[in-house]
Structure 1
Amino acid sequence: GAPERFKAKAHAFLDALRIFGLGYSWGGYESLAVHVSLNDRRVCTAPAEGPVLRLQIGLEDVADIRADIERGLAAARAV
């Protein structure tokens, strides 16, 4: 069903990332990504359907960050 497909797309996106680390910030400067629950209203306040990914943009080169996000999106589209 749809929830499983959305979850698979989110995992494909995260698995394809090379610049972004996975997890929450520990106060560093690196880019991070994490899959968050729609039930966590501290993170997601707008109604949404599908996966919600939180991205923390770090101090890496902008072109590298952009390429990494594009790689993740391509992987998600392929699922």
Structure 2
Amino acid sequence: MKEEHMAKDKPASGIPPGSWPVPLGLPLYVTVEQAAKLAGIGRDRMYEYVNSRADPIPQMRVGRAKTLIRTSAIPDYLRRRETA
């Protein structure tokens, strides 16, 4: 009985509510095109960030051709790319 009560209070994964790395409704990873749209920049510019040798945006490859970008990394990455 006590375990049932605890299960309702905390997520099964142990992640406290409100601390998930992306806002509700957004996936953890998005395609390059979706990341560009979320960031408000062009698709070609986002591909430049993906292919940057010096400072690539956090990403992972799925299969041979698909690249996914971590949604939570987009704001921090763009802040780093800003010019003063």
| TM-score when normalising by structure 1 | 0.25
Q: Does 1 or 2 have the higher relative contact order (CA < 8 Å, sep 6+)? A: 1
Q: TM-score, normalised by structure 2?
A: 0.24
